[in-house]
Structure formats: C-alpha cells, structure tokens
Structure 1
Amino acid sequence: MQLNVLKNYPLSELTTFKIGGAARFYVKAESTDSVYDSIDFAKQHGVPFYVLGGGSNLLVSDKGYDGVIIHMSNTETETRTDGESVYKTCGAGVVWDNFVSECVNENLFGVECLSGIPGTVGASPVQNIGAYGQSVDNLISEVTALDATTGDIVKFSNADCKFSYRKSFFNSEGFGQYIIVSVKYILKRTGKPNVKYHDLEKYFLKNANITLQEVRTAILKIREYKGMLQMEGFRGFKCAGSFFKNPVVSAAHFDNISDIINAAASARNWYWPIANSSEVKVSAACLIENCFGKGFRTGRVGLSPNHTLAIVNYDDATFDEVMDFAKQIEDTVYERFKVTLDREVQILR
C-alpha cells in the first residue's frame, strides 16, 4: 500500500498538554496494514517509532521526536449479541468516550463510570484504565495486536493481558513489541448502574432509581469540576489528567502515613485496603495536597485548583518546566511520607 508519511509534523496539538516539538516522520494509520508498513518504514530509516492514540497521557519534549509517530486512526466497530451479553469490537483509534456514550445510549451496563476519560480505545487495556469503581479489566474479552518484531497478528485473552492496577502485559513485558489494533468488550443488557464510589454516593444520595444516562451525566459533571475533562463544551485545563499513580504501601508504612494525614485532619476517603493483602492503596492526590495544597504554582506550571493529581500547563510552559515541577512534587512527597510517586504520564523525548 502507499504510505503517506509527513515530515516535521508538529505534535503539541496532538496532546492534551499542548506541549512538544515536531516528529521527524508522522503517519496517520487507518488500518492494520498501514501500521505494519509504518514499522517497516521506521526500520528502513533506522529510527524508532512511537504509537500515539489520543495524546491524553503524554508529555512530549520541546525537541520533538526523532522517529516515526504512528497515529492510530482505525475506527471500525462491530457488535454481536449473545443472550444477555453484548460483544463490541472497536478499532484502536475509536475515541474512548464515544464508545462509552454509545454503550450508555444502548442501555448497556458495565462502562458507564468510565465516561469522560480522554484518549482512544487502544490505550484502554495498556493502562487498564479505571475510575469511580469500574475498570476495563472486567470488561475486556480479547485484545488483537500486531507483533512489531514479526509482523504477526496476535490475539490476547483477558488472562493473557495480565491486568493489575494501572498495569498490563502491554506496558510491562510486552511494551514496545505489541501494537493494539482492536479491543473486544463484553457489556450486559441488564443490571444496575455502579454508584458505589463515594463521589457518586454523595451525588445521588443513595437514590435507588438511577439510569445509566444519569450516571454518565454525573461523572461528566464531577470530572469537569475536578478539571479532568478534555471535551468540547466543558471547562478543562491543558494537562494529561492524573500525572501520578496512586501508590501501594505496606500496612506498617500506611500506619506512619495515616498518623501524618490524621494529624492534619484534612482528608477523607483517601485510602483503599487491597483485598486478600496486607497492602493499602493510598490517594496520591491526598499526599500531594497535604504537601502543597490545590492550585500550588511555580511560574507557568502548577497543580490544578480542583484536583492535585493534575499538573497544568497554565501559560505555554515548556517540557523542562513541567518535568522540573513534577520532580519538585515527587521529592517533597518522598521527604514527607517516604513514598515514591510513579508517573502515570508517558514521557516522549
């Protein structure tokens, strides 16, 4: 096939951070064949490649990227019903929230709490995206990927994906080798909306008759209030959503952290014991807020005034300014709590 390769392609407008230089080469990949050909092009020119989805979890260097950007843009979809289960297979380039909206409009249960998450379908298994009591590890039936080393198409079952908190086979052992081209999800035709998360319980005040559309509307309003929404018609910030993951600590370490947090008397719902484990997941936002407070700012970079997990590009900040600010957050949290914050945002340079 004829590959349309663009040179010196600006990347800043392809990310929600709105930061970054140009890519040496850029391909809009609208099919599996174009993905394969893009990889072959990169090999022929002796340069690396990077697979880009919605750019919502990415910070790009101002120096740009000296390789091939493969922009996943395949948007084919297929729906199959089997009793109470509905199987939806989506191309990696499908906008995630469009998929969620479609499911909610069709009154399909299982994905409603993942409304408003930016990015594309192809990224959902990589990060095992989750929010408000739901995550895709409970929805994914199969992932189809291209093996970049062999050119083979490989199908992964749910178990093959090795899902855990914000982690999967695709961002660990398989990182860089497998490019996701489509994902198959299982939705249910009957059920009850998931409103167990504390923000939703507070929003609905334990109303028993809640529709999927009402849950979606609530999620969008909550995410907008927190400044985590990247959708037209809603208020948002130039950021990549949650910059850091919630850390998991031992029970003994948690007790030390708890003493500090409780002494400050400034947090509720900030930790989640892990089932069948002595470990505890702790809110990174709570730790950061305890050190800095919402809206803390240094020059053109700062924390969101609504949610401390979001680092915001307030005024045409540079890549280095964001990285320096992130390190300041990490160093201070470690000094106070002895917790290392892992970055959820991917860095491209």
Structure 2
Amino acid sequence: MKLNVLKDYPLSGLTTFKIGGAARFYIKAESPGGVCESVELAKRHGIPFYVLGGGSNLLVSDRGYDGLVVHIANTESDTATDGENVYKTCGAGVVWDSFVSECVGENLFGVECLSGIPGTVGASPVQNIGAYGQSVESLIHEVVAVDTADGNTVRFSNAQCNFSYRKSLFNSEAFGKYIIISVKFALKRVGKPSVRYHDLEKYFLKDTDVTLQEIRTAVLKIREHKGMLQMDGYRGFKCAGSFFKNPVVSGGHFDEIAGVLNVAAPNRNWYWPQSDAEVKVSAAFLIDNCFGKGFRKGRVGLAPNHTLAIVNYDDATFSEVIDFAKLIEDTVYERFKVTLDREIQILQ
C-alpha cells in the first residue's frame, strides 16, 4: 500500500477548538492496513506519532507536533443479529453522531441519549463516552485494535476494556499501546427510551412515553442550548465539549463542599451518590459558583450556558486556553479543595 505522506500539515482545522500549529508529517489512514503501515513507517524512522480521530477532545499546541499524525478514517461498517440483539460493527473513522442517527432511525435502543457527541466511533471506548444517563460501556461488545509494539491485531471483550467513569484500559494503563480500528456494539430491538437524566425529565415534564427520535431531538436541542453541539445547522462554539471531568469525592468531603456552598444538598441537582459511599459532584456547578456562565478573560471564556466548556472566542492561542483552564482549576481547588481533572487531550 502506498502511503500519501504530507508535510507541515495544519492541524487546527481538524479540531473543534480550531487552535494549533502543523504536524511535521500527516497521513490519512482509510483502512486498517493503512493504520498499521503508518505506525510501521514512524517506528522505522524513529518518528513519534499521534493517532487523531475527530479532533473533538483535543487541544493542539501553537508549535504544532514534531512527529507523524495518523488520521483514522476507516469507515467500513457491518450489521448482524441473533434475534434479541443487533450487532453493529463500525470502523473507527465513522462519525459518532451518524452512527447514533442510524441506530435511532432503525429503532434500536441504547444510544439515543448519546446524540450530538462530537468525534468518531474509535474514540468512544477510549473515553467511555456518556451523556444524559447512558454510556458506551453498556453497549460495547468488542473492540478491535492494533498493538503498536508488534503491529498485531488484538480483540478486547467488554470486560477486558476495564470501563469506569470516563475511563478505560485505553486511556489508563494501556495508554498509547493500542490503536482502535473498529468497535462492535450490541443494541436492543426492544426497550424503553432513557429519560433518567434531570435535563430530559425537565424537557419532557417527566412524561416517559416518548420515542427514540423524540429523545434524540431533545438531546440535540439541550446540547445546542448549552453550546456543546458541533454540528452543521446548529449553534455552537469553538471548544472541545466538556473540558473537565465531574470529580468523585468522599461523603465527608461532599458535606464540606455543601457547607461552603451553603445549600441544602437534597434540593439541588448537582451531585450523584455512588455505590461505595462516594459522591460524584457536578464540576459545572462548582465552576458556576466560582465564576458564573459566560465568564471571559481576553479571547477565552466559559460557554454562556454551560461552564464545563472552555471556548475559543476570538482566535485564542494554546497558551491562553491553558492559562484560563489553570485559573479555573486553581480557583475551584482554593474554594472547595477539589482537584478538577481535564477530560481533553493535549498535543504538543
């Protein structure tokens, strides 16, 4: 296979932040074989490489990347069924929301609340993406990846992916070791649309007799209102969606946070008790109490309707975004003693 290697390729246009310099080398890999050959080429010449999907969770340095960017673009798909389940296998380069739209159109249950999430299918198991009460950990049947050490193809069952909140094998202990080339999802023909999340309950006034398409439409409208949608025809911002993860704290720490906020915890939808005496706290709620929605500093700021999104308002630089993020992190820690972990990846 002949690889088309491009030099000094601009990366800003490949990210939703629209920030960053150029890659020293760039290859668009449109097949699993192209992925393997790209990695082999980089290793043969001693060049560092980075695997790029939809660029929706990435902030690139203004200096760019002094290595090879392998842009995953394989979009082969397949559907099979065993009667109860429908199995859809998608190439890592498939646009995530196109996959969701297809499933909703076929009346398959399980991904309707994940509408509007930017990026590609290949990123979904890495971050264990989730929204509005659903996450991919309950849907993924198998992940196929390339081992960057030897170029062999490896298959991972759901259990082997080690899923937890916004975490998996692929972004923790095995970070950088595997390149995902396809994901197999198990979806249900029969089910009930998920209206468990507060925003959806509010949207439907707790009327759960709704269709999958109505759920998808509602999620897209909610995400658009928050400025978290990166789709043509909708209002959006130059950002990477949620910049921070929701922190999980001990029960005692949660009581301290509630005391600082001076709120009656049961009356506010800003926390979610976990099964092991811990509490997941809304990072957006903490940030909102420190700064308020739409807070700006120069060319960078928070989205006007959602404080988890840091927005490039006017051709901001990489350093400006990082400095702004640090201001958010330091202020939240100073007030609540909560460390905010970044959800985005940084390439520099």
TM-score (norm 1): 0.98
> Contact 2:12/2:60 (CA < 8 Å) preserved in 1?
yes
Percent same amino acid at aligned positions? Answer: 77
Instruction: Give me the whole-angstrom Cα distance separating, in 2, the residues matched to 1:262 and 1:237.
Output: 33
1:109-148 aligned within 5 A? 109-148=109-148
Residue equivalent to 2:33: 33
Residue equivalent to 1:333: 332
Instruction: Give me the whole-angstrom Cα distance separating, in 1, the residues matched to 2:247 and 2:206.
Output: 30
Q: Kindly state the Cα deviation for residue 207 of structure 1 after the two structures are TM-superposed.
A: 1.9
> Contact 2:258/2:264 (CA < 8 Å) preserved in 1?
no
Instruction: Give me the whole-angstrom Cα distance separating, in 2, the residues matched to 1:254 and 1:144.
Output: 39
> Contact 2:193/2:208 (CA < 8 Å) preserved in 1?
no
TM-score (norm 2): 0.98
User: Are 2:211 and 1:207 aligned?
Assistant: no
Q: Kindly state the Cα deviation for residue 323 of structure 1 after the two structures are TM-superposed.
A: 0.3
Letter in 2 for 1:271: Y
Instruction: Give me the whole-angstrom Cα distance separating, in 2, the residues matched to 1:190 and 1:263.
Output: 41
Q: Kindly state the Cα deviation for residue 13 of structure 1 after the two structures are TM-superposed.
A: 0.3
Residue equivalent to 2:104: 104
User: Are 2:290 and 1:295 aligned?
Assistant: no
Q: Kindly state the Cα deviation for residue 263 of structure 1 after the two structures are TM-superposed.
A: 4.3
Letter in 2 for 1:316: D
Describe the SS at the equivalent of 2:24: strand
Instruction: Give me the whole-angstrom Cα distance separating, in 2, the residues matched to 1:324 and 1:99.
Output: 36
Letter in 2 for 1:325: F
1:260-275 aligned within 5 A? 260-263=260-263, 268-275=268-275
Letter in 2 for 1:126: V
Instruction: Give me the whole-angstrom Cα distance separating, in 2, the residues matched to 1:17 and 1:56.
Output: 8
Q: Kindly state the Cα deviation for residue 290 of structure 1 after the two structures are TM-superposed.
A: 0.6
Letter in 2 for 1:104: V
Residue equivalent to 2:309: 310
Letter in 1 for 2:32: T
Instruction: Give me the whole-angstrom Cα distance separating, in 2, the residues matched to 1:32 and 1:85.
Output: 26
Instruction: Give me the whole-angstrom Cα distance separating, in 2, the residues matched to 1:347 and 1:169.
Output: 19
Q: Kindly state the Cα deviation for residue 201 of structure 1 after the two structures are TM-superposed.
A: 0.6
For each residue in 1:120-161, what CA deviation from the matched residue of structure 2 results, as whole angstroms up to 9, or x when unmatched? Answer: 000000000000000000000000000000111000000000
> Contact 2:195/2:208 (CA < 8 Å) preserved in 1?
no
For each residue in 1:288-319, what CA deviation from the matched residue of structure 2 results, as whole angstroms up to 9, or x when unmatched? Answer: 01100001100000001110000000000000
Q: Kindly state the Cα deviation for residue 264 of structure 1 after the two structures are TM-superposed.
A: 9.6
For each residue in 1:218-269, what CA deviation from the matched residue of structure 2 results, as whole angstroms up to 9, or x when unmatched? Answer: 000000000000000000000000000000101110000011223499x831
Instruction: Give me the whole-angstrom Cα distance separating, in 1, the residues matched to 2:256 and 2:115.
Output: 35
User: Are 2:187 and 1:187 aligned?
Assistant: yes
Residue equivalent to 2:69: 69
Instruction: Give me the whole-angstrom Cα distance separating, in 2, the residues matched to 1:18 and 1:263.
Output: 38
The CA RMSD over aligned residues, in Å, is 1.1
Letter in 2 for 1:227: G
Q: Kindly state the Cα deviation for residue 21 of structure 1 after the two structures are TM-superposed.
A: 0.1
Residue equivalent to 2:159: 159
User: Are 2:4 and 1:19 aligned?
Assistant: no
Instruction: Give me the whole-angstrom Cα distance separating, in 1, the residues matched to 2:309 and 2:103.
Output: 28
Instruction: Give me the whole-angstrom Cα distance separating, in 2, the residues matched to 1:98 and 1:50.
Output: 24
- Unmatched tracts of structure 1, length 5 or more: none
Residue equivalent to 2:6: 6
Letter in 2 for 1:280: V
User: Are 2:87 and 1:87 aligned?
Assistant: yes
- Unmatched tracts of structure 2, length 5 or more: none
Instruction: Give me the whole-angstrom Cα distance separating, in 1, the residues matched to 2:208 and 2:178.
Output: 43
Residue equivalent to 1:174: 174
Instruction: Give me the whole-angstrom Cα distance separating, in 2, the residues matched to 1:264 and 1:70.
Output: 50
Instruction: Give me the whole-angstrom Cα distance separating, in 2, the residues matched to 1:36 and 1:205.
Output: 50
Q: Kindly state the Cα deviation for residue 107 of structure 1 after the two structures are TM-superposed.
A: 0.2
Instruction: Give me the whole-angstrom Cα distance separating, in 2, the residues matched to 1:108 and 1:130.
Output: 17
Task: Tell me the number of residue pairs that the alignment of Structure 1 and Structure 2 aligns.
Answer: 347
Instruction: Give me the whole-angstrom Cα distance separating, in 1, the residues matched to 2:21 and 2:279.
Output: 39
